[in-house]
């Protein structure tokens, strides 16, 4: 009998805590995916971007990448980060004509991408190439040193063609982390970016941060596209911020509007 | 010149002597005295290395900030391979001296077989985990990453490639390396006992050749072995060389203050370099010529910088942790020592626990507290299992059947 009463009392005592917990969960999650400055900061500049925006009021960007630069499903192209980047840049760089062309080939390793670069550079004449790489190479067991050599060659040819480079590394994918080790490829990308004065968009660290901060639960299993779309939208925004910072375009805009 | 020829002829005669394989080996130079007592420092550091490997194998884990890979170039793998070489030579070197080439080789190969079976056992568990993830996890965001599960569509090929040690999922690279090293160990051990300097030089030569000619073994579906056996053998053979008298030969060198100073300076340098990996603003203090020359620090081919870092660590450790250090007998260090004494079992258990721990963390999205708890629990399970194995050995040692075993059976029975 005593036990029953004790149980009831304990339940009553704990109920408010449980309710409070429930309320916290039910509260609407803020739809934000801010990225700390430190994750977007870089010593390198995007001088060619600055120049193109300032003098020609144009910004032509090519995105080269594999599967994780695209989304399947209805509206896939419009919701993937290249298209989101274009929209955000158009909003933020008023008076500049922005064009983002995506060259995405699923499962394409970096060595293959390099052989297609000259055509892309000739066709798009970009001032900035965003090069997403690494995942397909890790999946195909490409040796990190071969990956390094391909990336070196590719960045050289992009810079020789007169464009700035942003290297984008892998997605943070906690569910496949134990099967697919991407760290060696991420290290190579950081090194290549440093060696060529290029920018690194550290998608791995940024998505990791979002997961830890609670912006996204990247462990979630779902067949729906909602979350994938929101993540790509956030990647597009973060990329736009990195470009505007590294090309010092906020200052430019302020000068012109003043 | 003539003396050398005579020596060569003498060796050839030995090599082709009729019953050379059955007889204990008569070697030209007197064999180094192999101490009969196990060096507990080896067990201690191997045990610690096993814990660190376990922690490093859980990718989402706050506690792997404490592991040595974050403070220098080398990591627990170097310690593990070096000590494995050392103990292999210690155990099988005695067998080769006392019972001959054939018996010692047979025992080395039996050990390689045991490790092979353990590897396949781990592979089975890994397949189960992958199959579970494939069946339950789906997210369009990760369409590209999920291609890693493609091999499940061809289990016939995948399993066969795993049996050939060509298909090795993440974190399952160390045991295949160990197997290959043991397969080639009998002739190497013979050479180490006959001409240690020549053996070490030969090993270094293979290492250099591997770097110059990109030697490595092929992996499935593409690429090469993550731990290149042609490179990593250097550390294993160096460990074996140390066990067979090399350590004594080096002892003068190790006592010199200059060597100690160089070792400490190098460790501090490596620490400073690793700081720039984690604290971005420090990167600007890294001179361009240095990073051009230094990077990448290649783990696959056992970069010279990693090897040197291990040597420096070992030199400092040997200096400050003497063989008869009283703490080695203390109950405080016993958990690590007992784990190091059953390294194969505990290594496999560690790989399994890392799978399981990561699985729990991803199912619960575990925070730092869960991660720390899982890490500690894993180490506790490793200690408990190691003591259980010790206990089994003890009761078997008392049983009548084991009395006929050679006195070093406990060492050779599984701990090389």
| Structural domains for chain A | 35-257 (3.40.50.1110)
- Counting residues of chain A whose pLDDT is more than 90, the rounded percentage is 61
Chain A interface includes B298 (CB < 8 A): yes
Average pLDDT over residues A185-202: 93
Residue in B131, B201, B196, B202 with CA at minimum distance from that of residue B169: B131
Which range has the worst mean pLDDT, B32-36, B45-49, B95-99, B411-415? B411-415
Chain A interface includes B355 (CB < 8 A): yes
Average pLDDT over residues A41-46: 87
Taking an 8 Å cut-off on Cβ atoms, the answer to whether A72 and B223 are in contact is no
The C-alpha angle A120, A124, A129, rounded to 5 degrees, equals 70
* End-to-end CA gap in chain A: 79
Query: 0.90 exceeded by the pTM?
Result: no
Average pLDDT over residues B235-252: 93
- Which positions in chain A touch B296 (Cβ < 8 Å)? 144-145, 148, 187-188, 191
Per-residue pLDDT, B202: 97
Give every CB contact of residue B350 below 8 A, 6+ residues apart in sequence.
Answer: B50, B51, B53, B54, B57, B378, B382
Closest chain B residue to A180, measured at CA: B170
Per-residue pLDDT, A189: 95
Best of B122, B132, B141, B353 to substitute, by most chain A Cβ atoms within 10 angstroms, is B141
- Which positions in chain B touch A223 (Cβ < 8 Å)? 138, 140
Average pLDDT over residues A206-218: 90
- Which positions in chain B touch A141 (Cβ < 8 Å)? 219, 221-223
Q: Compare CB distances from A139 to B59, B147, B298 and report the shortest one's residue.
A: B147
- Which positions in chain B touch A227 (Cβ < 8 Å)? 139, 141
CA–CA dist B303, B273 (Å, integer) = 15
Per-residue pLDDT, B324: 87
- Which positions in chain A touch B149 (Cβ < 8 Å)? 179
Taking an 8 Å cut-off on Cβ atoms, the answer to whether A139 and B224 are in contact is no
Residue in A156, A89, A146 with CA at minimum distance from that of residue A118: A156
Taking an 8 Å cut-off on Cβ atoms, the answer to whether B170 and A180 are in contact is yes
Taking an 8 Å cut-off on Cβ atoms, the answer to whether B141 and A227 are in contact is yes
A93: preceding bond cis by omega (within 30 degrees)? no
What are the C-alpha distances in Å from B252 to residues B243, B257, B265? 16, 10, 20
Burial class (CB in 10 A: 0-12, 13-18, 19+), B215: middle
Taking an 8 Å cut-off on Cβ atoms, the answer to whether B296 and A145 are in contact is yes
pLDDT band at B36 (very low <50, low <70, confident <90, very high): low
- Provide the β-strand partners of residue A58: A97
Average pLDDT over residues B275-284: 79
pLDDT band at B152 (very low <50, low <70, confident <90, very high): confident
Per-residue pLDDT, A137: 93
Taking an 8 Å cut-off on Cβ atoms, the answer to whether A173 and B145 are in contact is yes
Closest chain B residue to A146, measured at CA: B223
Give the number of C-alpha atoms closer than 13 A to the C-alpha of residue A59, restricted to the C-beta side: 30
Contact B41, B325 (CB under 8 A): yes
CA–CA dist A104, B399 (Å, integer) = 68
A-contacting residues in B 193-232 (Cβ below 8 Å): 219, 221-224
- Which positions in chain A touch B362 (Cβ < 8 Å)? 174-175, 219
Residue appearing with tokens 């400490």:
B264
pLDDT, one tens digit per residue, over A124-148 is 999 999 999 999 999 888 888 899 9
Per-residue pLDDT, A74: 81
Q: List chain B domain ranges.
A: 75-259
Mean residue pLDDT of chain B comes to 84
| ipTM for the predicted complex | 0.79
Taking an 8 Å cut-off on Cβ atoms, the answer to whether A141 and B219 are in contact is yes
Is the per-residue pLDDT at B7 higher than 50? no
Chain A interface includes B145 (CB < 8 A): yes
**Chain A, chain B: beta-carbon pairs less than 8 Å apart:** 114
Average pLDDT over residues A189-208: 93
Taking an 8 Å cut-off on Cβ atoms, the answer to whether A72 and B284 are in contact is no
What are the C-alpha distances in Å from B228 to residues B215, B216, B225, B296? 8, 6, 5, 16
Chain B closest-CA separation from residue A153 CA (Å): 16
- Which positions in chain B touch A37 (Cβ < 8 Å)? none
Chain A closest-CA separation from residue B44 CA (Å): 28
Per-residue pLDDT, B297: 86
Is the per-residue pLDDT at B406 higher than 50? no
Taking an 8 Å cut-off on Cβ atoms, the answer to whether B362 and A219 are in contact is yes
Chain A interface includes B146 (CB < 8 A): yes
Taking an 8 Å cut-off on Cβ atoms, the answer to whether A223 and B145 are in contact is no
- Which positions in chain B touch A40 (Cβ < 8 Å)? none
Best of B73, B125, B145 to substitute, by most chain A Cβ atoms within 10 angstroms, is B145
Taking an 8 Å cut-off on Cβ atoms, the answer to whether A231 and B141 are in contact is yes
Most confident segment among A205-219, A225-239, B140-154, B209-223: A225-239
pLDDT, one tens digit per residue, over B364-377 is 766 788 889 999 99
pLDDT, one tens digit per residue, over B202-228 is 999 999 999 999 999 998 877 789 899
Is the per-residue pLDDT at B288 higher than 50? yes
Taking an 8 Å cut-off on Cβ atoms, the answer to whether B139 and A227 are in contact is yes
User: How would you classify the pairing of strands A58-65 and A97-104?
Assistant: parallel
Closest chain B residue to A232, measured at CA: B141
Q: Which is more confidently placed, B169 or B343?
A: B343
Is the per-residue pLDDT at B401 higher than 80? no
3-state helix, strand, coil in chain B (%, to 5): 75, 0, 25
pLDDT band at A251 (very low <50, low <70, confident <90, very high): low
- Counting residues of chain B whose pLDDT is more than 90, the rounded percentage is 50
Q: Compare CB distances from A221 to B138, B292, B295 and report the shortest one's residue.
A: B138
Sign for the CA dihedral angle at B336, B341, B347, B352 comes to: negative
Q: Compare CB distances from B280 to A38, A144, A145 and report the shortest one's residue.
A: A38
Most confident segment among B22-26, B38-42, B48-52, B167-171: B48-52
Instruction: Kindly report the number of other CB atoms within 10 A of residue B252's CB atom.
Output: 9
CA–CA dist A191, A133 (Å, integer) = 14
Closest chain B residue to A136, measured at CA: B144
The C-alpha angle A159, A162, A164, rounded to 5 degrees, equals 60
Is the per-residue pLDDT at B193 higher than 90? yes
Average pLDDT over residues A21-36: 54
Mean residue pLDDT of chain A comes to 85
Per-residue pLDDT, A122: 95
Is the per-residue pLDDT at B11 higher than 50? no
Chain A interface includes B132 (CB < 8 A): no
Closest chain B residue to A107, measured at CA: B144
Which range has the worst mean pLDDT, A238-242, B152-156, B323-327, B348-352? B152-156
pLDDT, one tens digit per residue, over B175-188 is 999 999 999 999 99
């Amino acid at each position: 009998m005593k036990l029953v009463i004790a149980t009831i009392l304990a339940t009553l005592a704990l109920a408010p805590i449980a309710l409070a917990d429930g309320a916290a969960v039910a509260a609407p999650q803020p739809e934000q995916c801010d990225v700390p400055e430190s994750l977007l900061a870089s010593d390198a500049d995007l001088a060619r971007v600055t120049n193109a925006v300032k003098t020609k009021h144009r910004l032509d960007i090519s995105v080269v990448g594999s599967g994780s630069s695209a989304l399947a499903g209805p509206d896939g192209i419009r919701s993937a980060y290249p298209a989101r980047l274009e929209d955000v840049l158009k909003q933020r760089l008023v008076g500049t004509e922005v064009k983002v062309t995506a060259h995405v080939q699923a499962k394409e390793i970096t060595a293959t991408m390099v052989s297609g670069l000259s055509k892309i550079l000739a066709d798009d004449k970009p001032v900035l190439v965003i090069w997403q790489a690494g995942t397909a190479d890790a999946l195909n067991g490409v040796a990190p040193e071969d990956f390094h050599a391909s990336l070196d060659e590719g960045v050289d040819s992009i810079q020789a063609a007169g464009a700035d480079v942003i290297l984008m590394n892998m997605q943070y994918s906690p569910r496949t982390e134990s099967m697919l080790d991407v760290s060696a490829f991420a290290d190579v990308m950081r090194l290549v970016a440093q060696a060529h004065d290029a920018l690194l968009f550290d998608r791995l660290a940024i998505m990791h941060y979002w997961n830890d901060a609670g912006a996204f639960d990247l462990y979630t299993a779902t067949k729906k596209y909602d979350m994938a779309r929101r993540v790509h939208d956030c990647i597009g925004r973060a990329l736009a911020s990195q470009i505007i910072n590294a090309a010092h375009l906020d200052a430019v805009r302020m000068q012109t509007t003043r | 010149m003539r003396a050398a020829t005579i020596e060569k002829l003498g060796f050839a005669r030995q090599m082709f002597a009729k019953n050379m394989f059955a007889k204990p080996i008569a070697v030209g130079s007197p064999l180094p005295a192999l101490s009969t007592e196990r060096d507990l420092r080896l067990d201690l550091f191997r045990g610690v290395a096993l814990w660190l490997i376990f922690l490093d194998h859980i990718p989402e884990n706050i506690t792997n900030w404490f592991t040595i890979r974050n403070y220098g170039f080398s990591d627990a793998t170097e310690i593990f391979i070096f000590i494995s070489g050392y103990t292999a030579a210690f155990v099988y070197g005695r067998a080769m001296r006392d019972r001959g080439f054939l018996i010692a080789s047979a025992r080395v190969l039996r050990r390689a077989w045991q490790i092979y079976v353990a590897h396949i056992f781990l592979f089975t568990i890994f397949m189960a985990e992958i199959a579970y993830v494939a069946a339950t996890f789906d997210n369009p965001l990760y369409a590209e990453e999920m291609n890693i599960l493609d091999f499940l569509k061809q289990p016939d090929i995948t399993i066969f490639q795993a049996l050939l040690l060509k298909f090795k999922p993440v974190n399952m690279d160390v045991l295949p390396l160990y197997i290959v090293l043991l397969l080639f160990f009998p002739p190497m051990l013979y050479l180490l006992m006959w001409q240690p300097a020549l053996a070490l030089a030969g090993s270094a030569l293979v290492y250099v050749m591997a770097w110059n000619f990109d030697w490595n073994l092929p992996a499935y579906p593409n690429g090469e072995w993550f731990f290149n056996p042609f490179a990593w053998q250097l550390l294993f053979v160096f460990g074996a060389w140390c066990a067979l008298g090399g350590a004594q030969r080096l002892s003068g060198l190790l006592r010199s203050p200059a060597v100690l100073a160089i070792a400490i300076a190098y460790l501090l340098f490596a620490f400073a370099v690793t700081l720039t990996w984690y604290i971005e603003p420090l990167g600007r203090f890294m001179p361009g010529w240095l990073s051009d020359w230094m990077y990448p620090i290649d783990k696959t081919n056992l970069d010279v910088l990693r090897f040197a870092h291990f040597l420096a660590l070992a030199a400092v450790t040997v200096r400050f942790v003497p063989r008869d250090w009283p703490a080695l007998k203390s109950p405080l260090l016993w958990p690590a020592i007992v784990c190091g004494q059953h390294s194969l079992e505990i290594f496999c258990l560690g790989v399994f626990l890392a799978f399981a721990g990561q699985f729990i963390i991803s199912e619960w999205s575990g925070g730092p507290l869960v991660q720390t708890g899982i890490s500690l629990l894993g180490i506790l399970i490793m200690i408990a299992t190691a003591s259980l194995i010790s206990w089994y050995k003890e009761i078997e040692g008392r049983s009548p059947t084991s009395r006929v075993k050679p006195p070093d059976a406990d060492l050779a029975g599984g701990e090389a």
